[in-house]
Structure 1
Amino acid sequence: MENKNKAQPWYSLAFIWGGSMVCVPSLLIGSTLVSGMSLGKALLVGLVGYAITVIIMVLQGSQSVDLHKPTVQIAKQVFGEVGSQRIISIVLAIACLGWFGIQTNVAGSAFANLLALYGIHISIPVSSIIWGVIMLVTAIYGIQLIRLINYIAVPYLVLVCLYGLFEALSSGQGTQLLQTYQPSTNLSFFEGLAITIGSFALGAVIAGDYSQYSEKRSDVVKAAGVGIIPAGVLMIAVGAILAIVNRTSDISSVFMNIGSPLIGGIALILATWKTNVINAFSGGLAIINVFGISKEKEKIAVAVAGGIGTLLAVVGILNYFVPIMSILSAMIPAVAGVMIASYWVIQKGNPEKWAPVSGINWLGINSWLIGAIIAVIPVLLGFFPSLPQFPNQPLIGIVLSFICYLAGYKFFAKKSNNHHVNTREMEE
């Protein structure tokens, strides 16, 4: 049963989710989208993408409200106790390591640009290593420091963004640039949707980790709608407008032009720092689950996660931001497709019908794999222009895994019933 002392009001949950949107990745999405489409289309893509994300969050989060369990526990029915631990953990590990590398890249670029203004020149890879190590050490040893950085970084980033927006819109030149803006590349609506959904796909799938202490399903609906959509679209708008006015989609360069390079540089470094310590810590826990490492070696696992993320930053993972988001948007929602099919269709949302499955539930694993692999094929083909190309449909994975699980369940249930009938006939 739910611990009433831990029950949280919907607005508290909304604040948590809204705060998670106030980050550098959300700004990166805005600058990325607007580099390939108009500002109006970028905002529409953001609105639709986050609305879809909210629907997934509500369906996932409501399961945890009903069962009072986090996502990895609920997934023990559709993936099995062993399978859920491995699948969710692998997804977490991939996402966390990728994000650690991307944000370390951003911090490294901001720091290198900042030092260059004072006559100190270091390369972005070297700067990324420095900040990767700093973030990693913080994740391993500084739990209190993590909280302190978070309290400072979020309000500071909000203030800098609002100031940058005011500065851009109050100048006649900035307004003119917005009116006459033409994107430098061509990004389709569905490609933009894949980027937007991919940015928070993991958050949507594991929404139950945060909503498990809520009292009722409607709390999740209100919290997701109020917390995600306004904050997400606002950050996309800020990232897009600043990119247009500064004539670059490089978020580090954009922030260097807000007020003074020092103000913008510190905002980027603080914002990436506060997010990356969580990425390293969560990535480390995921590695522990995947490989069955003992809890005593948690710090080593966090160090490995941060080390891999830092290496990704050194090789310039930020340059592959779009394909990485597209891959995540293809593979991660498929996890929710299986869970939604089981809980909301087969069990009709009745928590009394839920029960964990020991070992591995291969129906769930294979359903997820089919959806994830088919969804990711167009993304992977995009890396090789000489091969046949297919449009990237970000929701194909969740739909396929949903259908596969339902079809497989009905087939095996029917087969099981036939077996019981034949057994009874033999007994008679």
Structure 2
Amino acid sequence: MKKARQNQNWISLAFVWAGALVSIPSLLLGGTLVAGMSLGMTLLTALIGYALVVVIMVFQGIQSTDLGQPTVKVAEQVFGTKGSQTVISGLIMIGCLGWFGIQANVCGEAFVSFLKVFGVAIPTSLSSLLWGLIMVTTAIYGIRVIRYLTYIAVPYLVIVCLYGLYQALTTVSISELVSYQPSSTLSLGTGLTVTLGSFAIGAVIAGDYSQYSPRRQDVVKAAIFGVIPAGVLMIGVGAVLTIVYHNANISGVFSKIGSPAVGVLALVLGTWKVNVINAFSGGIALNNVFNVPAKYHRLTTFLVGLVGTVLAILGIMNYFTPAMNILGAMIPPIAGVMSAAYWVTHHGNQNEWGLFKGVRWSGLAAWGLGATVATVPVIMSLIPGIAHPQINPLTGIVLSFLGYLIFQRFEASTTSNAAQKQDEI
């Protein structure tokens, strides 16, 4: 396999990862958490949740830095070429499609609200279609455009959010925010699951961007200084704005920050630059699922964005929280399996990594174990009236990690016995 050109410094990588978090879904997440938690507990959940995300990103990202390959290619060693193509790449592709749809939906709604100020009314579906096509057209130009768009969007969105925070704090006192109590209750475990789910795909596919970095330490610094500050800041801003304006509709809240044009531009840039990343990574995953040559990545990127746009037209935004809960349970166990294989079985030595053709049942079984245990309670919680156990979001990762070490030993023993019998014959 051709190795990526590795000339990316850690600041550039940190900007890409921070840019993925300086986004509208992060603000929505803040509103979701504070609807069931105090402000202090919301910030604590954000800090713990993104610290866990950073750990996953470091272990995942370094693998791709060592090998100069994206996540789905690195995964071929532990899941096999067919296993990586069908299951892992499929999950990543579906997640990116869903995220693209959510972002395009938010952008479409914001643009509709903006046009209403001037007496122009268009359907949200048409607006979502328009912006979805603009976003995916940009995405086909790859990592360079992602960086440029991030350099513009991130500072602007941060400035608008900080101004909105300042504006909000002039209407309420700090003591009122501290004493705020939600009308419903959200447990820490559920909050962490939602937080992990909001960036589960980003953590697992960290290698898609760290493959361009030459040193392991670049990944560590980029994750710590790019993810935690940006993530906690955005959740905090989203929570405060929700408390102050008594409205979890970020489009409506942003229209009150400065002028409508200022707020809408922030929403458009924020969703745009994240959707470029969603389409780019989704295109890589789609290439792998259907074994499409890398030279057609622009085409597959466009297809991911097109399908995501259709989801936006259908109103996928209405399923934001359930989608994040399920993704937060199913996707992180992938990192558990890959970390066990690379860091324990192969001792973090890139020279011991090798392509495994076909399907590697030990990797898929380990992922299936962790994903099932983590996901079933989440699905049960979506059905009214059904009691369900509370599962810590790390449970799936730990089970997959340990499961692989056990299944891999059994697989190696079985293979060795089969080879020995063949020699005897």
Q: Tell whether the structures are fold-level matches, with TM greater than 0.5.
A: yes
The change in CA–CA distance for 1:418 and 1:331 in structure 2 (over 3 A counts) is same
The change in CA–CA distance for 1:45 and 1:6 in structure 2 (over 3 A counts) is same
Moved more, 276-285 or 355-364: 276-285
Count residues in correspondence.
425
Q: In the alignment, what sits opposite 1:279?
A: 278
Q: Provide the C-alpha distance between the structure 2 equivalents of 1:26 and 1:103, rounded to a whole number of angstroms.
A: 11
Moved more, 383-392 or 286-295: 286-295
- The 5-angstrom pairing of residues 325-336 of structure 1 reads 325-336=324-335
Q: Provide the C-alpha distance between the structure 2 equivalents of 1:254 and 1:95, rounded to a whole number of angstroms.
A: 27
CA contact under 8 A between 1:288 and 1:298: conserved in structure 2? yes
- The 5-angstrom pairing of residues 114-129 of structure 1 reads 114-129=114-129
CA contact under 8 A between 2:254 and 2:264: conserved in structure 1? yes
Give the C-alpha shift of residue 422 in structure 1.
6.8
CA contact under 8 A between 2:4 and 2:68: conserved in structure 1? no
| Residue 49 (structure 2) pairs with residue 49 (structure 1) | yes
CA RMSD of aligned residues (A): 2.9
Look up the equivalent residue of 1:109 and give its one-letter code: E
Q: In the alignment, what sits opposite 1:24?
A: 24
The change in CA–CA distance for 1:106 and 1:366 in structure 2 (over 3 A counts) is same
The change in CA–CA distance for 1:420 and 1:296 in structure 2 (over 3 A counts) is closer
Q: Provide the C-alpha distance between the structure 2 equivalents of 1:110 and 1:38, rounded to a whole number of angstroms.
A: 28
The change in CA–CA distance for 1:59 and 1:136 in structure 2 (over 3 A counts) is closer
CA contact under 8 A between 2:363 and 2:408: conserved in structure 1? no
CA contact under 8 A between 2:40 and 2:178: conserved in structure 1? no
- The 5-angstrom pairing of residues 27-38 of structure 1 reads 27-38=27-38
Q: In the alignment, what sits opposite 1:71?
A: 71
Look up the equivalent residue of 1:251 and give its one-letter code: I
Q: In the alignment, what sits opposite 1:87?
A: 87
| 1:258 match: secondary structure | coil
Q: Provide the C-alpha distance between the structure 2 equivalents of 1:350 and 1:152, rounded to a whole number of angstroms.
A: 38
- The 5-angstrom pairing of residues 313-328 of structure 1 reads 313-328=312-327
Q: Provide the C-alpha distance between the structure 1 equivalents of 2:15 and 2:122, rounded to a whole number of angstroms.
A: 38
Q: Provide the C-alpha distance between the structure 1 equivalents of 2:105 and 2:116, rounded to a whole number of angstroms.
A: 16
Look up the equivalent residue of 1:38 and give its one-letter code: S
The change in CA–CA distance for 1:177 and 1:346 in structure 2 (over 3 A counts) is same
Cα shift readout 1:239-280 (whole Å, capped 9, x = no counterpart): 111111111111111111111222101210121122223323
CA contact under 8 A between 1:174 and 1:245: conserved in structure 2? no
- The 5-angstrom pairing of residues 383-394 of structure 1 reads 383-394=382-393
**Structure 1 stretches of 4+ moved >6 Å:** 1-5, 141-147, 420-424
Give the C-alpha shift of residue 226 in structure 1.
1.5
Give the C-alpha shift of residue 196 in structure 1.
0.9
Rg larger in structure? 1
Look up the equivalent residue of 1:261 and give its one-letter code: P
Q: Provide the C-alpha distance between the structure 1 equivalents of 2:415 and 2:136, rounded to a whole number of angstroms.
A: 51
CA contact under 8 A between 1:110 and 1:252: conserved in structure 2? yes
- The 5-angstrom pairing of residues 188-207 of structure 1 reads 188-207=187-206
CA contact under 8 A between 1:22 and 1:231: conserved in structure 2? yes
Look up the equivalent residue of 2:119 and give its one-letter code: G
Q: Provide the C-alpha distance between the structure 1 equivalents of 2:421 and 2:190, rounded to a whole number of angstroms.
A: 52
Structure 2 length-normalised TM? 0.90
Q: In the alignment, what sits opposite 2:223?
A: 224
Give the C-alpha shift of residue 146 in structure 1.
6.4
CA contact under 8 A between 1:168 and 1:174: conserved in structure 2? no
The change in CA–CA distance for 1:298 and 1:194 in structure 2 (over 3 A counts) is same
Q: Provide the C-alpha distance between the structure 1 equivalents of 2:262 and 2:235, rounded to a whole number of angstroms.
A: 20
Q: Provide the C-alpha distance between the structure 2 equivalents of 1:402 and 1:35, rounded to a whole number of angstroms.
A: 33
| 1:399 match: secondary structure | helix
Look up the equivalent residue of 2:39 and give its one-letter code: L
Give the C-alpha shift of residue 322 in structure 1.
1.2
Structure 1: where are the runs of 5+ without partners? none
Look up the equivalent residue of 1:349 and give its one-letter code: G
Q: Provide the C-alpha distance between the structure 1 equivalents of 2:74 and 2:254, rounded to a whole number of angstroms.
A: 41
Moved more, 379-388 or 263-272: 379-388
CA contact under 8 A between 1:246 and 1:257: conserved in structure 2? no
Give the C-alpha shift of residue 161 in structure 1.
0.9
Moved more, 18-27 or 95-104: 18-27
Q: Provide the C-alpha distance between the structure 1 equivalents of 2:418 and 2:2, rounded to a whole number of angstroms.
A: 39
Give the C-alpha shift of residue 410 in structure 1.
1.7
Q: In the alignment, what sits opposite 1:182?
A: 181
Moved more, 55-64 or 8-17: 8-17
- The 5-angstrom pairing of residues 15-414 of structure 1 reads 15-139=15-139, 149-169=149-169, 171-173=170-172, 175=174, 177-293=176-292, 301-414=300-413
Moved more, 378-387 or 80-89: 80-89
CA contact under 8 A between 1:68 and 1:213: conserved in structure 2? yes
The change in CA–CA distance for 1:204 and 1:292 in structure 2 (over 3 A counts) is same
Moved more, 394-403 or 333-342: 394-403
| 2:347 match: secondary structure | coil
CA contact under 8 A between 2:255 and 2:263: conserved in structure 1? yes
Structure 2: where are the runs of 5+ without partners? none
Look up the equivalent residue of 1:134 and give its one-letter code: I
Cα shift readout 1:195-247 (whole Å, capped 9, x = no counterpart): 11112212221222333344443332222111111111111111111111111
Look up the equivalent residue of 1:307 and give its one-letter code: L
Q: Provide the C-alpha distance between the structure 2 equivalents of 1:150 and 1:5, rounded to a whole number of angstroms.
A: 21
Structure 1 length-normalised TM? 0.89
